[in-house]
Amino acid sequence: MSNGERLHPAAILFNFIKVIKEALFAIILGFITFRDESFFYFILISSVLVILLIIYSVASWYRYTYRIEADELRVEYGIFIRKKRFISINRIQSIDLTAGVIHRIFNLVKVKIETAGSGMSSEASLTAVKLAEGERLRNELKKERTPLNDVEEQLVDEEPSYKISFKRLFLAGSTSGSIGIILALFAFVFSELEQFIPNRFYDNTVEWIIGLSLFFIIGLSIVVLILLWLFGIAGTMIKYGNFTITRNKDELFITRGLLEKKQLTIPLRRIQAVGIQESLIRQPLGYVTVFAEVAGGSMDKGEEFSTVLFPIMKADEVEDFLQELLPDYAKQPEELNPLPKRALKFYLLRATLPITLMFAAVLYFLPPFIWIPIVFFIGALFLGFLRFKDAGYDVEGKRLLLSYRTVSKMTMIIYHKRIQAFEKKQHKIQKAQELATMKLSIIAGLGGKHYTVKDMEERDVDLLSDWYSYRK
């Protein structure tokens, strides 16, 4: 492949959509600002900008070429300033294929190429190529000469594979906790409706709602919450539909998505840690989420910048799951080294201090609503106790297991060679109580990942420090 190849012409549309998305806030702000007397000028300026964006998108597509030559992927782009990027095949860590709705219409894929130093974004991204071309590129860049029609067909019956069932997928959506995010978004949109609805109609609607009976308002609120809950389920099912994870030699392959189909490749050597998340909703039901921290992955790679290995499974299934796919991380200790009982008061104090300040403010300004901070105070006490109870650690050989909680309980499994820094912190009160805070860091995403366990037994932190520094 000596001559430069261009992307599929559909890349023009993707470039245009990308620019519009980046400028969406400015467009909305301009519409709100000039929607009255200057609306004609807003439309005129917008039309000119749209024409310029179309020209820019076409020129960007025409000037973007790629080719494989001399064991390198060579990409050239830039309209006025020509840029060239050479990516050695030996540096490539993963090649991911993504197909959104528009991609599927034209039988296209987006090819994302990542190296160990990709950081916040991919090393190279081919926004639109034919599916066969994307698979051929993946074969050549991975130095595989056998044809590849589809990840699932290539790997079937060769290596261990797990696929999420519809029942589990529905349960993942039901317990995802996304209803809170959707409710906040709904409240924000509702608060901004006044900008776009005639004042008389808006005021009449608000007066009508206020005039309704209390039971009707409660019933309407329940219906709205149920609808938001269903939206959360739909979002999870669209994101993780057909989720499949398969191990092939030294890599994990993940395929997921209903509307946007993603195929992720994770080399095992890039996995820095494996985590198990137990949310407040799922933990009583015995379900967890398994994820991995991957070095060099782009920030949009996975959930909260981590790569989800399986969206939801029973807690007692995790060890078998890891034994099949990541046996080095499989064995779980029966018990952890817990925090000393004298640390409990610090956890309760940290959890309840903000609520105490809110309690004082409500008591002074809104005494009839004093029950609200009381309810929050009880909840904060419970959360503080859970944080104390769930914190702990275990060391086995060169493997460290940490457990802690912010809101969800997190269990991290990390090998010694993956830890980049270890820090012991201790303020005067902790020193008097012979307590200390441990913080360690690994390479993952942008800026790394940091894990902190507060108010540990001081001698335990010193033992872990010796373990990290190879001191006997």
SS3 for 264?
strand
Q: Left if phi > 0, otherwise alpha if psi is -120 to 50, otherwise beta: which for 434?
A: left
Q: What is the DSSP letter of 279?
A: -
Q: What is the pLDDT of residues 37-51, one digit of tens each?
A: 666 777 888 888 889
Nearest Cα to 445, choosing from 91, 119, 95, 113? Answer: 119
Residue 268's φ and ψ, nearest 5 degrees, are -60, -30
With beta carbons less than 8 A apart as the criterion, state whether 350 and 380 touch: no
Stretches where the chain sits below pLDDT 50 are 1-2, 144-157, 298-304
Q: What is the DSSP letter of 120?
A: T
With beta carbons less than 8 A apart as the criterion, state whether 435 and 420 touch: no
Helices (H), 275-341: 318-325
Q: In which residue are the tokens 């914190």 written? A: 391
C-alpha–C-alpha distance, residues 234 and 64, integer Å: 37
Cα angle value 378/382/387 (rounded, 5°): 145
SS3 for 163?
strand
Helices (H), 313-457: 318-325, 344-365, 371-390, 428-432
Q: What is the DSSP letter of 433?
A: T
With beta carbons less than 8 A apart as the criterion, state whether 228 and 179 touch: yes
Cα angle value 431/435/436 (rounded, 5°): 90
Neighbour-count burial for 401-436, b at 16+ CB within 10 Å, e otherwise: bbbbbeebbbbbbbbeebbeeeeeeeeeebeebebb
Q: What pLDDT was estimated at residue 104?
A: 86
Strands 261-267 and 92-99: antiparallel
Which positions ≥6 away from 1 have C-beta within 8 Å? Answer: 67, 68, 69, 140
Residue 18, number of CB atoms within 10 A of its CB: 13
Residue 130's φ and ψ, nearest 5 degrees, are -60, 150
C-alpha–C-alpha distance, residues 246 and 253, integer Å: 5
**CA atoms lying within 13 Å on the CB side of residue 143:** 9
